[in-house]
Amino acid sequence: MDAVIDFINLQRDRYIDELKSYLAIPSVSALPQHTGDVRRCAEWTADELRRIGLQNVRLIETPGNPVVYGDWLGRNDAATILFYGHYDVQPVDPVDQWQSPPFEATVRDGEIYARGAADDKGQIFMHFKAIEAHLKQSGSLPCNIRIFIEGEEEVGSAHLDDFVRSHKSELAADVLVISDSPMFERGIPSICYGLRGIAYFQIDVRGTSTDLHSGSFGGAVANPAFVLAQMLAQMKDRGGRIKIPGFYDDVRELRLEEREQFRRLPFNETKYRKDLGAPKLFGEAGYTTLERVWARPTFEVNGLLSGFTGEGSKTVIPATAMAKVSMRLVPNQNPDKIADQFEAYVKKIAPKTVAVKLTRFQSGQPWMTDFDNVYVQAAARAIERGFGKAPVFNREGGSIPVVSTFQQELNIPAVLFGIGLPDENAHAPNEKLDLTNFHNGVIATAYLYEEIGRLDGAR
């Protein structure tokens, strides 16, 4: 093992150069003009899996973007990891707010800045480098591994449920490992045991067939921007509670012990507020901030568009208004049921003065797991060896839709070991990854394979 760690310590600069090439590919899954780049990124990923010494490397087609697969199954007696991640990234807009171009990775103050640095290319690359170190130093891995990297996570993994169901034997493993989340805090590594689910909609409101002079027609017709605002205002009460009938029916209440665990975490609410630049925090009454973001559902407006928004003024009644909205869900809420309840509520509150159209986008199940299993313990030891500090256990507010599918279809434990940071700017301008965390992460991951290799496989 020492040789593996020495190897990693000597390769620091090469890792950064290679990661830069990976980050240079604009694999934005949401935008059709990047379809070619997305495929090129899948191919780069596959080539990398071959370079580091994996076997059976190939692209597997889906109705959408290809999945990249590779494995190393040379240890009949040891456990098998299924490693999941995504090579697609979020759009970069507003691009003028980036301090360096999003697809020209730039190192500043020990952090590498680029779209995908933390979410998720940097984190999957950490695993590639740990695999490479083992294979180059000893010609083998301490455990078996199947690598499964998809290209549609950032648009909801629509094709992955079917894919997992129809490729179960290729995915057979003892434990699922994912690195696609931030750690609790700089200097405080963590293992994540819960994610929120999601239901996403676009609301289109039409008032009239064309924009109107607001003097000639103002007063005679409903204004769709106003109607949309009124409908949105009916989604939550002043205490932040969501008013969609039935919305909370299946919400699993926080247990007292879990609330106490959250409270013991070194969370500084004032610093949190200041870092966000918020004058005052807001959320559902009766819950702490960590409870609100990890264990309570939300309703958010993600985008809002109507009327004249240019410089100066224009007297107009817009013909249409549009909003993108999403709900983050917690166990045991079901995204389809929530989506039905939302649609019914919108139909109920929509006035007859406008036409309202709802479009359903991606959804994802919430996920939560026990963390008293040997794999999580192995990961905790590996993290302590790599970071010099034992991890804390946390939940997260984000969503990785396929995790609950893996759980249901493969019925194996999951270890979510992320090395991002809360201020990594994922999905925002100036996304970054701390290079010390990356480097310690490669070491921790190399140890993780060793620790898991010591456990018996049930394959």
CA–CA distance, 295 with 48 (Å, rounded to integer): 37
DSSP H helices in 350-400:
374-387
Options 71, 180, 450, 451; binder of ligand BES; rule CB under 6 A: 180
Residues with Cβ within 8 Å of 14's Cβ and at least 6 positions away in sequence, in order, are none
Task: Decide: is 152 part of the binding site for ligand BES (CB under 6 A).
Answer: no
Q: Does 154 bind ligand BES (CB under 6 A)?
A: yes
Min separation Cβ 70 and ligand BES, Å:
21
For this structure, is 120 an active site residue? no
The minimum distance between CB 420 and ligand BES, in angstroms, equals 8
Contact positions with Mn ion (CB under 5 A) in 108-137: 119-120
Q: Which stretch binds ligand BES (CB under 6 A): 15-23, 36-44, 177-185, 241-249?
A: 177-185
431 binds, among Mn ion, ligand BES, none (CB under 5 to 8 A by kind): none
Give the residues across from 191 on adjacent strands: 393
Q: How many CA atoms lie within 13 A of 218 on its CB side?
A: 8
Look at residue 199 and give its three-state secondary structure.
strand
Work out whether 150 is an interface residue with Mn ion (CB under 5 A): no
Q: Quick one: which of 424, 419, 370 has its CA closest to 391?
A: 419
109 flagged as catalytic: no
- Min dist CB 387 to ligand BES, Å, is 18
Residue 434 interacting partner from Mn ion, ligand BES, none (CB closer than 5 to 8 Å by kind): none
Residue number with CB closer to ligand BES (57 or 178): 178
Q: Would you give the binding string for ligand BES spanning residues 197-236, x where CB under 6 A is met? A: -x--------------------------------------
Whole-angstrom distance, CA of residue 208 vs CA of residue 259: 50
Q: How far is CA 34 from CA 31, 37, 47, 291, 438, in A?
A: 6, 5, 20, 37, 27
* First vs last C-alpha separation in the chain: 25
Of 4-12, 159-167, 176-184, 214-222, the window that binds Mn ion (rule: CB under 5 A) is 176-184
Q: Which residues contact 418 (CB under 8 A, 6 or more apart)?
A: 123, 178, 179, 180, 181, 182, 183, 190, 192
Query: Which of these is catalytic: 37, 48, 71, 88?
Result: 88
List, by residue number, the catalytic residues. 88, 153
Q: Give the footprint of Mn ion on this chain (CB under 5 A).
A: 119-120, 180
